Each structure stands twice: as structure tokens, then as C-alpha cells.
Structure 1
Amino acid sequence: MTLIDGNHPGWASRPGPFSAVRRRYADACDNGGVEPAEDPVQSVAEAVDLNATLVRTALEATGDEQALAALEAVLDLSLLERELIEDGARRRTLALLQVQEALSKLRVVDEVAKIVDRATRELVESCGFDRAVLFRVHEGRMVMESAYFGADTEGADKMVAFAQSVAPPLDHMLLETQMIRRHAPAIVRDARNDPRVNRPIVDFSLTHSYVAAPVMPTGKVIGFLHADRLYSGRTVDEIDRDTVWAFAEGFGYAFERTVLLERMRRQQEEVRRALASADEAARALQDADLELRKVEPVERSPATRSLAEANSRMQAILTRREVEVLRLMAAGRTNQQIADELVISAGTVKCHVKRVLRKLHATNRAEAASTYVRMGGSHPG
């Protein structure tokens, strides 16, 4: 028995013996946008029981045993369908709770390497799968990053090593390529014969059925999560597919958050190091020893030093005016010419000349001029 959609246009007003039941079911499904007055499935179940009683009574009155047997078979099938629906609803509710629990554990992980390993583990331990693997998309290939097989850690390590050595390309026939294009999960019920799977990886993993979902936190597929139930021997179904899909979506956001946090920590550390270096330099300037001394003189050239030394020696022997007279004497000026240039009398020049000769121990003007040149005096020209 298949329940008819109570929201189908005109369904509740369709004529027939069950029009009242249809109306009740429609009202239960759509109660003016507020919480339904009663459970739609329960309302149909009660209507089935009620009408089955009426039919049974009528058939018993006619004594039609075959019709009664057929009625009981229909009722058994109806009961089985109801149990399957309720079981599916319970499984979906439990799966949602498991996904929420798994993602809550991922939110506290603050390192990229750890959250990659933790994802497959939580898909198994929290969501009830037997095995899980995580691929990343890299340069058009599928590269397995982590695997969790419960207690079989050696098998998980071997699976990662083998898958990384294969690194299948994302060609047009691969299941994962379809997931990239459709942005949707997939289910493989017969992995041994499905042409969309990567044959080497499937053969190595020994899986017979699995579900897969893309990881796409920013709208771009960056990886895939796969899960199966190999150890329990169960074939995966749509609820398993939807569970992995919900987990993959939440994991994508958790992974993006962890990447951003790790980048921020690295940037903060770089800023911290830069500030510490600047602070150390400032403290070094602040704590530097002070010396009470004059600033060192600027280094002078050899020619400048020689001229300064010559001037010092002449100034130690002669007065400033005598140096000027000696300079003009060396230039060949007469006493009158010196007097005119220095604006002094010729007699005063004669006296300066006598003192210059005496101080330089020179017998004549030529010796005095020679001494002036040797001491570094420049010829005025």
C-alpha cells in the first residue's frame, strides 16, 4: 500500500467512500501554516483500521472466505508499510542527531591536520558507518588524505598509501566527476559492477557498496567523503547517502573555519614577532650607555690635514699680520706693494719684515719665502 499525497490538488475533494478520510488527512497535513492538529500518518492508519473493520464485517456477513483472506493480507501489508515508514523516520532522526554530535566534535578542532583525520573518524564512530575515507581534489586528481577503519588502523594506513599511489584522474566516467558537476551525493549499491567507480581502489578496498558526497564549503568541490558498511555486511541505502551528505556539508564549513583560524594564528605570530623585534630595538636604544664627550671631528683629507698643520706651525711662530706679510714676500711683492695691499705704511711693513726674518732665522727675503713654501704655504700667484 502506498500513501497518497494529501497535498495533491483536488485529492481531498475526489468523490468516493473515503472522501472523509482524504479530507481528514489533508487537514492534518496542512493546518493553515501552523502546527498540524494531528499526525497525518496516524490519521490514515486509524482510517484504515476503521474501514477494514467495516469491510471485514460485511464480508463475514456474506461468508466470502477468500475475500476475507485477501483483506487480511492487505491489512498485513499496510501494517508492514507503516512500520517501514516509521522505521525510516526514526533512522533519519537518529542519523540527524548523530551528524549533529559528530559536527559538534569537529568544531573544537583548531588544526587543519587534525580535522582532516578527525572527519573520517567521526563519520564512523558518531554516524555508525564501518569505514570512511576522505579525498581532496588536487590538479584534476583524487588524492586520499585520511581513512578510518575502526580498529583496523593498519588497513586504513595501507588504503591511504595505495590510493595516493593511484591518485585517479577525474575523468568524465568517474562517479566523483558527476558529483562535481551536479553538486550532489551519490550511492553505489554494486561497486563490483558499477562502471563509474575507480576499479583499482574499489578492488583494493573490497567494498561492495558505498555512499559518497562532495565537500564544497564555498560552492567549489574541494574533496569527497566516502563511507561503507563492509564489516556489518549491509548494503548502503538512501538514508546512508543523505547522512554522509549532511555530514560533508557541515564538515566543509568546519574545515573552512579551521583553515581561517590557522591562518590568523600564523599572521598573529608574525605580527607578534615583528612587534617583539621593534620593542627589543627600542629598549636597546633606551638602555644604551651615555658618554659625556664632544662629538668626534669629521675625518679630513690628507691635504686638508697638511694645510692645517702648516698654518698651526706658522701661527705658533708668527703673528697673523706677520703671516700675511710673509705670504706677500713669498709672492715677490715689494715693501710698498705690501703696504698698499694691507693698507699700512711702508715703515710698518719694514718692521714686520725684520721680525719675520729674525723669527725664521732667515738672512734675506728669499730664505724667508723658501721657508714659507716648505712649511706648506701656498703661493698666491
Structure 2
Amino acid sequence: MTVTTPTDCLPVTALVDGNHPGWASKAPPVSAVSRRYDEACRSGIVERADDPIRAVADTVDAQATLVREALEALGDEKALAALEAVLDLSLLERQLIEDSARRRTLALLRVQEGLSKLRGIDEVAKIVDRAPRELVESCGFDRAVLFRVHEGKMVMESAYFGDDVDGAEKMIAFAQSVAPPLDHMLLQTQMIRRHAPEIVRDARNDPRVNRPIIDFSLTRSYVAAPVMPTGRVIGFLHADRLYSGRTVDEIDRDTVWAFAEGFGYAFERTVLMERMRRQHADVRAALATAEQAAQALQDADLELRKVEPAERSPASRRPAEVESRVHEMLTRREAEVLRLMADGRTNQQIADELVITPGTVKSHVKRVLRKLHASNRAEAASIYARLAARPDPS
């Protein structure tokens, strides 16, 4: 006998109040199972109750008692044994359904708990590092990793393996050295195309996985979900239960999917906040420069003589003029890197400022040096300073 979940057993009368004519059109669609439950109640087979599963279970027990008594009267031992087996299996089915419902409810609460912690983070680097940790600590997984999609490859950004800090660091280093491309054999390609999570129950033999990473991590089964806050997949979250020895299931898959969706929105919010802070700092710096220039004009001495147009000092020049000259030779991103180089920033500081990886910064620095014909960073900074000091041709 098939026993349905509580949400599928809601009677029509629980959905629509017949005293209000406008509510019927707004009620959610009634499932076939709900209609069957209503019919059983109207026919008197089942006594209607607030808990449909319990009502059906009680009816099954009552009917089974009648059948048992009849079989005992007939002395049919085999039929009695078969009846008891059916009743045991029916009870087990109900228990499994109730256990699954409890697990899903608890998983949803844990996802919300983890996401609430992420929403309080206001730095991109921190939220990227924290996401796998919250997936483990809040949602009950053993290990979790976060990949980003970059130039057609999977680049591992962070990992959390509980107390195995060294293992997580080694995993990141290895995965970054491999940086598997998103070719047609990878599971991630399917997730990008379908915008949906995936479950791998046998990672050792599944042809869709990246073999080097699976072998290095000793993963037996895992779940993965795309991170796509704007509709475009920008990364993936993976989680497994290696230490407990459990094979992941559909509830684990749906848990990671819900967490990945919430993390995507939290990440987008953090990025926007960080960009706004940088923009605010740039505006304040520009206003301070303008105020200094206005003050210099106000404080300048007056002389009764013909005054030739004077060069503006580098400090009073608008940043936009310098940037326009730099952009004649460099791309927008390269110009940003050059400006930060001239301020004495390290590659890591530039990466944090522009929300890119240190490796990407190195590539930009190499192109800047080549285009400016500079042999080192100091020479490039000097060229930038000369551009800033050069008078505007207009």
C-alpha cells in the first residue's frame, strides 16, 4: 500500500472555505492524491482528521484487524503471515516518509542558519572563504569546496574539511594546479546547461567527473550545485560525507542547491557593497583634490602684471585627465592596475581592491610593463607620475 506525504493529503476543504466565493479561484491546485483522500472520507472508508497520514494508517490497521480475524477463522496461516508482512512494510513506509519529511525540514532550517551568517559578511574574500565552512558546519556535511568559473575552467577558490586544515589547503593547491577545463565530459557542463544541481553516487566510476581531483580527494560520492545569482553560472559548490562514510542522497543534493542559491545572492550583495565603498572612497578623494585646488586659488596672491597661463600642478590636475592619457595606451583594467602600482600596492592588495586573483594581477602587470616599455614596476610608476605631471594640451 502506498502512503503519501502530508502535503499531498490536504483535503479540498482544508484549501478552500466554501463560505467565501472568492477564495476558490485563489486556492492552490488540488492534487490527485487529495481528491482520492476526499473521496475516501466522503464514502466513509476513512474518518477525516487533521493528520491525513494518521487517519489513513488507522483505517489500514482497522481493516487489517478484520482481515486477520477472518483468516484466523479460516485457519489460513500463510495468508496471515503475508498479511503481517504487508502491515510491517506499510508501517516502515510511513516511517520512512515521516523521516524524510523531518530531514528536509531540518535541512531547510540549517540552510537558513548558514545563510544568515553569510549575510553579515561585507568583504568578498571573507564570504568566499566562509561559504564552504558554513555548508559543513550549518548543514551537516563533512567537506565542502567552492569553485569559480574562469576562462572556461574550474578554479577552486576555497575549501573546508573540518579539523583537517592541512588537507583543505593541499586540496586547493592541487585543484588550482589542475584547473580542469569545462569540457563536455564534466558534470559541471551539464549543470551550466541545465541550471540544476547534480548528484554523483559512485565518483570512482562515474565518467562525468574530473578524475585527478576525485582521486586526490578520495571522494566516493558527492553533490554539486551551480552558483548563479544573475542567471549565469559563476561557480559551483561541492559537498560530501567522506568521514562519516555515508553516500549522499537527494536530500543532500537539494540542501546544497538551496544553499548555493542563497549564497549566490549573498555574494552578489557583498560585491556590490565593496564596489560602492571603493566608489565612495574615489569620490571623496576627488572632492578633496577639488577642494585643495579651490583653496589654492583662493589663497593665491594678486600681482598687477600680465599673467601668462600657468601650468597646473600635478596635485591640482583632475584624475580623469591622467586616466584619459593612460587609456590611450592601456585597457581600462590595465590602467587601474597601473594606478594602484603607482600608489605602491602589492599584487595581493591590487587583487583585493579589484576583486580578482593575484595571478590575474601578475598577467596585467606584465602587459602594462610591456606596453609602457618599462623594465620594472618602479619605472612604470615613474611613467605614470610623468603623465600626471604633463600639462594638458588643451
State TM-score, norm by structure 1. 0.70
CA drift of 1:270 comes to 0.2
> Aligned partner of 2:136: which letter?
V
Change (3 A) 1:13 1:72: closer
1:187 pairs with one of 196, 199, 209? 199
Q: CA deviation at 1:286?
A: 4.0
AA at the equivalent of 1:12: R
Distance change >3 Å, CA 77–CA 298, structure 1 → 2: closer
Seen in structure 2, the aligned counterparts of structure 1 residues 220 and 297 have a Cα distance that, compared at 3 Å, is closer
1:58 to partner: Cα distance: 1.5
* d(CA) in 1 for partners of 2:193, 2:44: 43
Matched AA of 1:115:
I
Query: Which residues of structure 1 form unaligned runs of 5+?
Result: 29-36, 300-381
> SS of 1:134's equivalent?
strand
2:225 & 2:58 partners in 1: Cα distance?
39
1:107 is aligned to 119
Candidates 283, 289, 307, aligned match of 1:271: 283
Q: Secondary structure at the match of 1:172?
A: coil
Does residue 228 (structure 1) correspond to residue 247 (structure 2)? The answer is no
Q: Identify which of 199, 214, 221 aligns with 1:202.
A: 214
Aligned sequence identity (%) = 78
d(CA) in 1 for partners of 2:65 and 2:298?
99
In 2, Cα distance between equivalents of 1:24 and 1:285 = 95
SS in structure 1 of the partner of residue 115 of structure 2: helix
Partner Cα separation in structure 1 for residue 92 and residue 108 of structure 2 = 24
Q: Does 1:241 align with 2:253?
A: yes
> CA-to-partner distance for each residue in 1:332-368, whole Å, 9 max, x for gaps?
xxxxxxxxxxxxxxxxxxxxxxxxxxxxxxxxxxxxx
Q: Is the 8 A contact 1:99 1:246 kept in 2?
A: yes
Corresponding residue of 1:350: none
C-alpha displacement of 1:24 = 7.5
d(CA) in 1 for partners of 2:307, 2:258: 77
Distance 2:265 2:46 in 1: 38
Which residue does 2:18 correspond to in 1? none
SS in 1 for 2:280: helix
* Aligned equivalent of 1:12: 36
- Secondary structure of 2:270's counterpart equals helix
Corresponding position of 1:256 = 268
TM-score between the two structures when normalised by the length of structure 2:
0.67
Deviation at 1:295, TM superposition (A): 1.0
Q: For residue 12 of structure 1, give the secondary structure of its aligned residue in structure 2.
A: helix
Deviations 1:53-88 (A, max 9, x none): 111122222222221111111111111111111110
For residue 166 of structure 1, what is the amino acid of its counterpart? Answer: V
Residue 3 (1) aligns with residue 3 (2): yes
The aligned runs of 1:63-212 (5 Å cut-off) are 63-212=75-224
Q: Which residue of 2 aligns with 1:48?
A: 60
Alpha-carbon shift at residue 12 of structure 1 (Å): 3.0
Q: 1:25 to 1:117 in 2, by over 3 A?
A: farther
More deviation, 60-69/97-106: 60-69
- Give the superposition deviation at 1:40: 2.4
SS class of match (2:202): coil
Asked if the contact 2:41–2:47 (Cα under 8 Å) also holds between the matched residues in 1, the reply is: no
Q: Distance in 1 between matches of 2:88 and 2:165?
A: 46
Tell me which residue corresponds to 2:231.
219
Q: Residues of 2 paired with 1:266 and 1:50: CA distance?
A: 71
- Cα shift readout 1:193-239 (whole Å, capped 9, x = no counterpart): 00000000000000100000000001110100000000000000000
What letter corresponds to residue 39 of structure 1 in structure 2? D
Change beyond 3 A, Cα 1:256–1:194:
same
Closer, same or farther: CA 191–101 of 1 in aligned 2, 3 Å: same
* Letter of the structure 2 residue corresponding to residue 20 of structure 1: A
Q: How many residues align?
A: 284
CA shift in 2, pair 1:298/1:252, >3 Å: closer
Q: Please give the alpha-carbon distance, in whole angstroms, between the structure 2 residues aligned to 1:295 and 1:121.
A: 72
Secondary structure at 2:36 match in 1: coil
Q: Distance in 1 between matches of 2:47 and 2:207?
A: 47
- Tell me which structure has the larger Cα radius of gyration: 1
Separation of aligned partners in 2, 1:77 and 1:95: 26
Q: Which amino acid aligns with 2:2?
A: T
**How far does residue 41 in structure 1 lie from its aligned partner after superposition?**
1.8
CA distance in structure 2 between the partners assigned to 1:91 and 1:141 by the alignment = 35
Secondary structure (helix, strand or coil) at the match of 1:227 reads strand
- In the TM superposition, residue 151 of structure 1 has moved relative to its aligned partner by 0.7
Residues 79-135 of structure 1 deviation map (CA, whole Å, 9 limit, x = unaligned): 111111111000000000000000000001011100000100000000000000000
Q: How far apart are 1:9 and its partner, in Å?
A: 8.2
Structure 1 residue 26: deviation in Å? Answer: 10
- Offset at residue 277 of structure 1 (A): 1.7
Tell me the residue number matched to 2:318.
none
In structure 2, which of residues 302, 305, 308 is the aligned counterpart of residue 296 of structure 1?
Answer: 305
Residue 246 of structure 2 aligns with an amino acid whose one-letter code is R
Shift of 1:22: 8.7
Instruction: Quote the RMSD (CA, aligned, Å).
Output: 2.5
Distance 2:246 2:134 in 1: 19
Does 2:74 correspond to 1:62?
yes
